[in-house]
Amino acid sequence: MNERFYDLTREKQDRFINAACKLFAENGYKKASTDDIVKAAGISKGLLFHYFGSKQGLYVYVYEYSTRYVRMEYDRSIPREGMDFFELQKRLELVKRDIIRHYPYMPLFIRRAFRENDEELISLLADNMDQYSALLAEVYGRAHVSRIKPGIDPSDILKLCLYASDGILNDQFLTGNVDPEAFLEESLKYLSLLEKNLCRHSQ
């Protein structure tokens, strides 16, 4: 990547990142059009290749930036010490709300990246993907599960939480209206419902 990208204003950089996240999340790497990305970003196609060299270079940059940004938000907002399973999930939804305030399509883009099948691209991203997966495992590993009712696998509850959160964001994405506050409200509603039914005592 050309370091002169950082000479752009923060607003222009973010416009570029948001456009790439949106189009890559919507279409995947192979089908995403650089013409559509530069149109959404409001820049010339020449600048895209000047800064990133290729669509692949853009994808790698945006993925690395996105996972680094998420890590920074986790470090800033999620306590290192353990906490109750559902309190941790609620905190994570707050973090996701804060992320999509600035980068509405970033969480969906990251999730979509794990379903890409371009071998060369995945090879370039492999180390970063492993690091990101390890980060998630470490964060989710901070959850205390003592309140969960006997016989219920916490990993199954985690899947339900992730399906609900991703589903809400996907629904908003498909309607073309990613709303951080509405996302958070609906996510917390479903988390509270799960907590009420799957824990010994609701807080």
Read off the pLDDT of residues 161-182 as tens digits, 9 standing for 90 and up: 999 999 999 999 988 889 999 9
- Predicted confidence at residue 44, as pLDDT, reads 87
Positive or negative CA dihedral for 112, 63, 171, 162?
Answer: positive
Residue 160: its H or E element: helix 154-175
The rounded percent of the chain whose pLDDT value lies above 70 is: 99
- Predicted confidence at residue 128, as pLDDT, reads 96
- Predicted confidence at residue 161, as pLDDT, reads 95
Q: Is the pLDDT of residue 203 over 50?
A: no
**Is residue 54 within 8 Å of residue 137, measured between CB atoms?**
no
Average pLDDT of the chain, as a whole number: 94
Q: Is the pLDDT of residue 1 over 80?
A: no
Instruction: Report d(CA 39, CA 15) in Å as an integer.
Output: 11
Q: pLDDT, tens digit, for every residue of 74-98?
A: 999 999 999 999 999 999 999 999 9
- Predicted confidence at residue 201, as pLDDT, reads 67
* Torsion angle defined by CA atoms of residues 14, 17, 18 and 22, in that order, rounded to the nearest 10 degrees: 180
* 3-class secondary structure per residue, 75-121: HHHCCCCCEEHHHHHHHHHHHHHHHHHHCCCHHHHHHHHCCCCCHHH
> Residue 121 is encoded by which pair of tokens?
């691209």
Q: Is the pLDDT of residue 4 over 90?
A: no
Give residue 6's region: left, alpha or beta (phi > 0; psi -120 to 50).
alpha
Residue 143: its H or E element: strand 143-144
Q: What would the mean pLDDT of 187-193 be, rounded to a whole number?
A: 96
Distances (CA, A) of 190 to 120, 160, 186, 193: 39, 10, 6, 5
> Residue 158 is encoded by which pair of tokens?
């985690």
- Predicted confidence at residue 202, as pLDDT, reads 46
Q: pLDDT, tens digit, for every residue of 29-77?
A: 999 999 999 999 998 889 899 999 999 999 999 999 999 999 999 999 9
Cross-strand bridge partners of residue 148 = 199
Between 5 and 160, residue with greater pLDDT:
160
> Residue 169 is encoded by which pair of tokens?
């964001």
Domains (ranges, CATH) in the chain?
Answer: 3-198 (1.10.357.10)
